[in-house]
Amino acid sequence: MKNTLPFNKPYIVGKELFYIAQAVISNCHISGDGTFTKKCQNWLEKTLGTHSALMTHSCTAALEMSALLCNIKSGDEVIMPSFTFVSTANAFVLRGGVPVFVDIREDTLNIDESLIQKAVSEKTKAIVPVHYAGNACDMESIMTLAKKERFWVIEDAAQALLSKFHGKNLGTIGDLGCLSFHETKNIISGEGGAILINNPELIERAEIIWEKGTNRKRFFQGQIDKYSWVDIGSSYLPSDIISAFLYGQLEMAENIISKRYRLYETYIDGLKEIANTGRIRLPYIDQGNETNGHIMYIITGSDEERSRLMQHLREKNISAVFHYIPLHSSLMGREHCRVSGKMSVTNRISNCLLRLPMFYEMQKIDVERVVDAVLDFYNRR
């Protein structure tokens, strides 16, 4: 019997453990805002081209900081897809905001930019495009509308590190961008995230909110002789141990993304023949933009077909999982949110999408094993 092939597996690729030891033994600093926190922030600023980057303990924290920075208050509406993780909506509900769900596109599985205008009301305050699977939303259309209507744009780029739209890194186009380094992402630190502040007007307040609502950073920069509580905020900083692990990954980011994309291409090549028959759909590939190949998914013909395929893969010791249950259909979604238009694409994709194993230490032979199992399922039918 073959060993079980997991859906995901954390990994070591460079100096992660050495840097953790350095943080503890040499730097003697393992709380937030240490040497490795600053190294990660500098890497993000330089590599992505953002005005400022602040490490957070999760992408959820980055989204919550975004809600604070955009002054989301009770009744303010925030437009976003329903096909996303709960944190995208929860960050704004915590401030009294009302997520307004818009359907997704059939091809990219991202928010349908042509439907956003219909969702706008006098209460609209922001738009949150989610770059699903590392594929870019149509940021040109979204930014044009936002500029016209004077909305904030907060990019949920949790899955999109080093993916690009028209040559610009995702997460750096809107006013704010939110990244994730959860162990399921391409570049990992177990937990962890970052907020990218692309609007210079928000930098100083972001630093205050990040430091529990104090002007502590200005104190350490010698700009004031003592710091105090000046705004609302929270403890959004990660431990420097988390940042030390992450910095070891960031140093190898190009190699990590390159390998994952080769695995992604192996999947596409292996499954394209069955996809050409119309029995499954493969991820959309936008030739005009760069994607990091974060998720390898297929779209089956029905929920029932997906369930049987998952069982077939389990029998072959291969782990495959579905993804989001649409937020508009959840208990909290019905209670706290508003739906704009029909959610027909969202509902169908949620019922039929299946994610296949994808992690850095996978080999070509592992991908071929999954491909063979999928082909065997459909050939039997």
- Among 250, 280, 304, the domain boundary falls at 250
Q: What is the mean pLDDT of residues 27-51?
A: 96
3-state secondary structure of 154: strand
Same domain, 264 and 239: no
Q: Radius of gyration over alpha carbons of the chain, in Å?
A: 21
Percentage of the chain with pLDDT > 90?
A: 93
242 and 363 in a single domain? The answer is no
290 shares a domain with 240 = no
Q: Which of 218, 217, 210, 214 is nearest to 228 (CA)?
A: 214
Going by C-alpha positions, the residue among 166, 89, 94 that lies closest to residue 130 is: 89
**Domain C-terminal end among 231, 250, 269:** 250
pLDDT for 381 beyond 80: no
Residues 81 and 211 in one domain: yes
Domain region containing 92: 16-250
Per the prediction, the chain carries an average pLDDT of 96
Q: Judge whether residue 179 has pLDDT over 90.
A: yes
- Per-residue confidence (pLDDT) for residue 35, from 0 to 100: 97
pLDDT of residue 334 exceeding 60, the answer is yes
**Both 257 and 235 in a single domain?**
no
Residues 268 and 230 in one domain: no
Are 238 and 275 within one domain?
no
Handedness of CA 332, 335, 336, 338 (dihedral sign): positive
Residue 61: inside a domain? yes
Q: How many domains does the chain have?
A: 2
Same domain (yes/no): 310, 246: no
State the pLDDT confidence band at 1, using cuts at 50, 70 and 90: low
Query: Mean pLDDT over residues 49-67, rounded?
Result: 98
Amino acid 91 reads A
For 349, the 3-state DSSP assignment is helix
pLDDT at 285: 84
Predicted confidence (pLDDT) per residue in 266-303, tens digit: 999 999 999 999 999 999 988 888 999 899 999 999 99
Q: Is residue 152 part of a domain?
A: yes
Return d(Cα 122, Cα 207) in angstroms, integer: 30
Q: Tell me the two tokens of residue 21.
A: 């030891």
> If DSSP states are collapsed to H, E and C, what string results for the chain?
CCCCECCCCCCCCCCHHHHHHHHHHHCCCCCCCCHHHHHHHHHHHHHHHCCEEEEECCHHHHHHHHHHHCCCCCCCEEEEECCCCHHHHHHHHCCCCEEEEECECCCCCCECHHHHHHHCCCCEEEECCECHHHCCCCHHHHHHHHHHHCCEEEEECCCCCCCEECCEECCCCCCEEEEECCCCCCCCCCCCEEEEECCHHHHHHHHHHHECCECHHHHHCCCCCCCCECCCCCECCCCHHHHHHHHHHHCCHHHHHHHHHHHHHHHHHHHHHHHHCCCCECCCCCCCCECCCCCCEEECCCHHHHHHHHHHHHHCCECCECCCCCHHHCHHHHHHCEECCCCHHHHHHHHHEEECCCCCCCCHHHHHHHHHHHHHHHHHC
CA–CA dist 180, 160 (Å, integer): 9
* CA distance linking residue 155 with residue 114, whole number of Å: 17
- Residue 311 maps to which CATH number? 3.90.1150.10
Final residue of a domain: which of 216, 250, 284? 250
Residues 165 and 222 in one domain: yes
* pLDDT tens-place string over residues 212-227: 999 888 887 778 888 8
Look up the pTM and report it.
0.95
